[in-house]
Structure 1
Amino acid sequence: MLQDSTDAQLLELGSEGVALTMALWDERTCVELLERTMRAATEAGNLRVLDTTLWVLGLVELARGDPAASGRYVEQVRELRRAIGYDAEQVVNASSLAWSGAPYEQVEQIAEATLETGFAGVWTVAMTGLAIREIADGHYRDAYERLRPLVELEFLQVTYQQLPDLVEAAVRSGNLAPARAAAHRLAEFAAVSGTPWIRGIAARAAALVSEPERAEAGYLEAIAQLGLATATGELGRAHLLYGEWLRRMKRRREARDELRTACEIFERVSAPAFAARAHRELEATGERVVAHQPGDGGAEHLTPQEDAVARLAAAGRTNAEIGAELFISANTVDYHLRKVFRKLGITSRRQLAERHPAS
């Protein structure tokens, strides 16, 4: 089993275990193996494997629906490349940009430039990110047309990760037959793999294509299963869809609870388009919503580098340990921490641990 591999074996495998674990919809094991590989590569000074592992971790975080975590890994790649003398400004994750609210045209230009250099897989991830953004913005037909050719290509690791998004885009754009077909495939995956992630996603898809009398059970199952998984953004989307369904069923009080939860999750993972959608739905229930603004005392306005330093410091790491992990000097760590303290209005690491949990 991959989990029984030694550190030396993991360094030899690099990120090869990603294909197998993601094929099984086992995001928890995938991240655990990548984090072990990252630590082993750091200890061994294997910068090539470390660079690749950090980049892949950023992609996996997007699959889990957490662009904030993805951004932290991208920043670590930048710091690593600065440390070894490469141009760190060229480190751009187009899919992460799409999640984070960058203009569509900018993301498409970056994705096309990547495709021209031969990285078709990175282009596919970028197209997926754009489709997810289109779903968040309510452009369901555009998302469906963007996802459809990706799903029709019979390549295992390039296709079925897009199926959950295809279901929502297809249902909301009136393409019920392909939505039901995709939901059926997800149910088959759930029957074989059985991880909380795929069970939750399959239940959410089933709810979207179900009649009203059966939909609620699917949404509740999705929330229960995804609550056991580590796919934070996917859980937020389940709460959002259930809240939207409840509002349309005229159950506004219950809808507010789900939509508030969705808002909190999307703000925490820095998914502004989904947060805006959840806010709009919440306002439609009659609740007055005060949107979060950067700089109002929350952790969301920290830069990716400040956030990474804050998380490690909150976990009890020393400046030297943080510097070694992020490839910056202890003095630079101290500089970032002072900025974090000022932004959060705190004066100690103890307060940081309470205000900005390492988890």
Structure 2
Amino acid sequence: MFADLGIVLVVAGIALAIFARIRNLAFGALGWGLAIVGVIVTIVGGSLTVIPAGQVGVVFSALNGVKQRPLSEGIHFVTPIVDNVILYDARLQELTLSRTGEDGTNADESIQARSKEGLGISADVTVQFRLKRDEAAQLHSQLGPRYIITVIRPQVRSKVRDAIGQFNAADIISTQRQAVEARITEELREVLERNHLELDSVLLRELRIPESVAKAIEEKQTAEQQVAVERNRLQQANIAAQRKVVEAEGEAKANVARAEGESKALKLRGEALKANPEIIQLTVAEKLSPGVQTIMLPSNGNYLLDLGALTNRSAVQSSTNGR
């Protein structure tokens, strides 16, 4: 900007001096003075360069070649005529390769790859990156301003194809999408690091497979889901059957326990009756009439049975057994 102003002053001063000489006017010296000021401004302006925000300047000297120390944002002094400053964008940049094209046109720049089983897959990818400020001079010397075309674009295509080729198509569009993204990121980061660039992220925007293949994969997944449902139902049926078996076994054991208890009770009662046969007579008498104290029972030997005596005897025996 200053150099342009200086050139304008030089031209204006010379024109004014020539006009004054032709017209024999007194301000010819003023014109030459203005021209001298223009030369000074041009020289000073040529030694000043402004690096805008978000950019870095690489200085190329006609005498020494590329200077290894890049210029950061702000105003810097350089050698006029000898030094030339090349600006590089140091902010986050992105490269998009998609079906619609990076500029929104219909130019198809999507990446065509093949899965592990050889199926064609079309991928839309966005790569975000930035150059390393401290290595801008090396990047300029080795790659130049067209580094996106010469390095990043072909490397992105290559690494995406390599990563997709490691997975099956069904896995890529379902469960392994992030794994593909991670593999691309890892391999591409190594390449950019070697070329003085820093990878920020890789975004798989869209993955497309042939419609017939997608339909077949969908049918396969549906069948697998149905098999899983049927397997779950079978497991539930087996669990229900096992529960019924357990319940039946429990019931059978309970019945056995009850039968054993009843058998033991009957055995004990039989032993008690055998030891005390008069209890039978007492039970019969109690059933006949609670109010009868003496009863005649037909037997081979006719006798009278005193129920009161039997009752007292039974009570005494029960008391003795309780002790």
TM class by shorter chain equals: under 0.3
Select the structure that is richer in helix. Answer: 1
Select the structure that is richer in strand. Answer: 2
